[in-house]
Amino acid sequence: MFKKITDINDKWTAESMELQISDRESRYFGGVRDPLSGVAWPNHTGTAQYLAAWAAALVNEQSRYYRDLVLLEQLHEGMSFMLRFQHEDGTISPGWTNYHSPPDTAFVVVGLANILTLLERESWPPLKPVTDQIRTFLVRTIPAMLTGGVHTPNHRWVLTAALGSLYRIFALEELQARAGEWLQEGMDITPDGEWTERSNGIYNTVSDIMLYYAAQDLNRPELLEPVRLNLRMMKYLVHPDGEVVTDYSGRQDFGSVYSLADYYLCYQLMAEHDRDPEFAALAELASRSVIHPGSLPNQIMLGFLLYPQMQAASVAPGELPDSYRKVINGAWGRQELIGLIGQDGYGGPVRHSKQHTEFGAPVARVRSAETSVSVMTEASSLFSLRHGRATLLGVQLASSFGPGLITMDTLTELSGGYRLESVAGKGYYGTIPADKLPPRTGFPASPWYLLPHGERPLTHNQTSSVCVKVSEWEAGWDLHFSTPSPADVLTQIVLLFGSEGRLEGSALTPVPGMSETSFWTAGTLRYSSGEDWMELEQGCHEHHLADIRGMSYPDGCLKVIVTLITPLEYTLRIRLS
């Protein structure tokens, strides 16, 4: 694996050296141009991650760039760019998102601290100007790391790791104390190993590796326990082809293609730390997907060079399950915890982020050889199925009651399947009591936004309950939808298929104005990709409304719409090749 990563890092180094801005008249001189925006940024997925690859290549004796003076000069110019783009308060701004951002700075701190540790081990005098630059950058960040805040849950562990990295280098006790202030908030992970953001493609790997670093630098071994929980959970969240399940993510990896590659570093480190064959097996599985040296916190080449035990690979891999039925968070008391919101000390506004009340929502995973199924709550899709190359990416449910998408609240495991349920209420709001009305003296009007709407009594409340029974049978899966009331609610089931496949059916009618979308009015349809296929029955077309208000229809896939009117009892049968 070391040679593979060396080759990948060298290739990436060669390509990124060409992207460095060499125009000395440009304010971005020395930065590495972002391929998407064409602008150089100082963040951990921008210039800083390229500097990590370059630094690793310079000190790796197996690299063709080992002690290469041209690359060393480019590294020096890159760090000059980083120092120029560091604000007076010590922070950086990615430019396309956050500004004067402590968490984005913390990502860079962790990476540059690792680079500094690696370079200072080398007895090569030409490195000193660069290590001096890195030290200068890190010293400047200390005030922001001691006072700075966050947006998202994982940012807390990024800042904790950054504080630990700085503590390792500068030994200032206030850094350790500030890390303790973040850690006293407690770990936001369920007993089954799921982090708040349910981000199997991106932010799991961030929280895991950051807490590994923090455990090491702050001498807090207990921080490895949530890392273990998440790494173990992930063995149930990988499709047969190695793609990670992102169907229910709460972040930007939702519905996108990710592999285990960014887990590799943490899996390999934890395999050696715990002498754990399962982690070793998952590291081996992750290694098959590695085609990139990794973004700054998970830079694999740095990991190999910083931690010699990575190269030892002394733990023999165990066996990973390829057939299982697993409910994640099935026993987690989520509803009880949500009920605490609003009590003294619990809940409150979350600015520039969200409360993530979907945290801990149950998800069922079923795997049998080349078939992979997810049954989900609190997600835009309630069911997905991969059968070889044939992919039913999602099954969505929407209605005019809400109006818009219906998400499932609860999941109950049954013999041979699962029951999903959702209950929603919708009513009207009466007059505000006179003693609750605000004074309007001197105002030319009574703006709606100044009225205390929370004082309005609820009237004519209606309740809509939806039940979906998901059952496995000998040749596939059945989804039975049931909504008894209220009557005359326009409802639709949206089936999302991979765009790489082909849909066939005599009762498929294109929907005007909606790309790659068809009504399925009756009979059977067949979706195939390569030699794999699935047949679905029975189409239905009880109303003509394709675009339900409040519903978002994803691009990049084939969409099939079944239209229904409540009360309804409808079964979708899926037969697999």
Is there a single domain that holds both residue 284 and residue 378?
A: no
pLDDT reported for residue 97: 78
Is there a single domain that holds both residue 294 and residue 380?
A: no
pLDDT reported for residue 71: 98
Is there a single domain that holds both residue 16 and residue 132?
A: yes
Is there a domain that residue 481 lies in?
yes
Is there a single domain that holds both residue 206 and residue 307?
A: yes
Span 469-484, average pLDDT: 96
Tell me which residue range forms the domain holding 410: 370-429+452-576
pLDDT one-digit tens code per residue, 504-521: 998 999 999 999 999 999
Is there a single domain that holds both residue 556 and residue 420?
A: yes
The whole-angstrom separation of Cα 83 and Cα 91 is 10
Is there a single domain that holds both residue 230 and residue 166?
A: yes
* pTM, entire model: 0.94
Is there a single domain that holds both residue 316 and residue 405?
A: no
- What does the block give as tokens for 246? 């992102």
- What does the block give as tokens for 71? 């690359």
The answer for residues whose C-beta is within 8 angstroms of residue 125's C-beta and 6 or more apart is none
For the chain, give the mean pLDDT: 94
Is there a single domain that holds both residue 303 and residue 407?
A: no
Q: Specify whether the CB–CB gap between 129 and 76 falls below 8 A.
A: yes
Is the pLDDT score of 363 beyond 90? Answer: yes
pLDDT one-digit tens code per residue, 45-85: 899 999 999 999 999 999 999 999 999 999 999 999 999 99
Smallest Cα–Cα separation from 553: which of 480, 503, 493? 493
Span 417-431, average pLDDT: 96
pLDDT reported for residue 352: 82
- What is the number of alpha carbons within 13 Å of residue 346 lying toward its C-beta? 9
Q: Specify whether the CB–CB gap between 175 and 159 falls below 8 A.
A: no
Is there a domain that residue 531 lies in?
yes
pLDDT one-digit tens code per residue, 192-220: 999 999 999 999 999 999 999 999 999 99
pLDDT reported for residue 439: 86
Is there a domain that residue 364 lies in?
no
pLDDT over 70 for what percent of the chain?
A: 100
What phi, psi does 412 have (nearest 5°)? Answer: -120, 130
Alpha-carbon torsion (372, 373, 376, 381), positive or negative: positive
pLDDT reported for residue 252: 67
Examine the fold and report which residue of 297, 323, 349 is the final residue of a domain before the chain moves on: 323
Is there a domain that residue 362 lies in?
no
pLDDT one-digit tens code per residue, 95-131: 777 899 999 999 999 999 999 999 999 999 999 999 9
Is the pLDDT score of 254 beyond 80? Answer: no
Is the pLDDT score of 414 beyond 70? Answer: yes
Span 356-379, average pLDDT: 94
Is there a single domain that holds both residue 35 and residue 171?
A: yes
Is there a single domain that holds both residue 18 and residue 111?
A: yes
Is there a domain that residue 336 lies in?
no
Is there a domain that residue 440 lies in?
no
Examine the fold and report which residue of 307, 323, 339 is the final residue of a domain before the chain moves on: 323
Cα-to-chain-centroid distance, residue 488? 38
For residue 71, give the amino acid letter.
Answer: L
pLDDT over 90 for what percent of the chain?
A: 85
| CATH code, domain with 6 | 1.50.10.100
Q: Count how many domains the chain has.
A: 2
Examine the fold and report which residue of 292, 307, 323 is the final residue of a domain before the chain moves on: 323
The answer for residues whose C-beta is within 8 angstroms of residue 424's C-beta and 6 or more apart is 401, 402, 406, 463, 464
The whole-angstrom separation of Cα 19 and Cα 161 is 30
Q: Is the peptide bond before 512 cis (omega within 30 degrees of 0)?
A: no
Q: Is 172 exposed, middle or buried (0-12, 13-18, 19+ CB in 10 A)?
A: middle
Is there a domain that residue 445 lies in?
no
pLDDT one-digit tens code per residue, 451-468: 999 999 999 999 999 999
pLDDT band at residue 424 under the 50/70/90 scheme? very high
Is the pLDDT score of 333 beyond 70? Answer: yes
Is there a single domain that holds both residue 112 and residue 20?
A: yes
Is there a single domain that holds both residue 380 and residue 300?
A: no
Is there a domain that residue 352 lies in?
no
Beta strands in 371-429 (DSSP E): 371-376, 383-387, 390-399, 404-405, 410-414, 417-429
Span 136-152, average pLDDT: 96
Span 359-381, average pLDDT: 94
Is the pLDDT score of 25 beyond 80? Answer: yes
pLDDT one-digit tens code per residue, 518-536: 999 999 999 999 999 999 9
Span 526-547, average pLDDT: 96
pLDDT band at residue 576 under the 50/70/90 scheme? very high
Smallest Cα–Cα separation from 404: which of 284, 259, 553, 532? 553
